[in-house]
Copies of this chain bind each other. A is one copy, B any other.
Amino acid sequence: MAQLLRVQNFTVSSEGIGAGEDQTLENPFGHGIDPSKLFTWAGATASWPMRTDGGGSRGLDDYLTRDYPRNIGAEIMGRNKFGPQRGPWQNHEWRGWWGDEPPFHTPVFVMTHHERPSLTLSDTTFHFVSGDPATILEQAREAAQGKDVRLGGGVSTVRQFLDADLVDTMHVVVTPVKLGSGLRLWESPDELLDRFHLEVVPSPSGVTHHLFWRK
């Protein structure tokens, strides 16, 4: 069985925007972007990892939310997903956005040009790595021990791996929210039709799931 590189539950606005341009500690998704608007669809499901009340919907959006960890052995993310810092690390106090129990439960490869020792929080270990997408994917595949690798974003990281033609499957959720400006995943999903099959599945919740897999 091949080890796939999978984008999962990657959410963009109706214009294809997945993040703002001026990410800060106070605004992790960038100026003018309220992430709660983008993730309302997932937060409403029974499988949302932060849910503790036992409720939530169990329809289509729930199927897609709960597929997030299935057969994933490692994640690759951009440094901008890990934190708002830019340039060399001033210190190692920043430990990601996710507290002591990050929701990854696997090795995570954070792409950065700036060296930093690996960091273990519960069952997630962050490795800080530089190199081209193919080299980093090779490292992540080895760490995933036969399981798939998730490409966690953000926008620039997904674009880099798409440009290198390394993505096998991609689940992008288009929300009926307009953001105006920010980092775009695409002008239109049709840009990928030369290389991918695409199913467009509207959910009763109002979002539209875009399911891509390699031709």
Q: List residues of chain A with CB under 8 Å of any chain B CB.
A: 1-2, 46, 54, 57-60, 63-64, 66-67, 70, 169, 197, 199-201, 203-204, 209, 211, 213
Contacts and interface: CB of A to CB of B under 8 A. Distances in A.
By CB atoms of chain B within 10 A, which of A54, A201, A203 has the most?
A201
Q: Which are the 9 A-B pairs with shortest beta-carbon distances?
A: A58-B213, A59-B199, A59-B211, A199-B204, A60-B201, A58-B169, A63-B63, A60-B199, A63-B67
A204 B202 CA distance: 11
Contacts of A57: 197, 213
24 contacts: A1-B54, A2-B54, A57-B213, A58-B169, A58-B211, A58-B213, A59-B197, A59-B199, A59-B211, A59-B213, A60-B199, A60-B209, A63-B63, A63-B64, A63-B67, A63-B211, A66-B70, A67-B67, A70-B70, A199-B203, A199-B204, A200-B204, A201-B201, A201-B204
Query: How many monomers of this protein are in the complex?
Result: 2
A107 to B, nearest CB: 22
Nearest to A171: B63
A58 B213 CA distance: 6
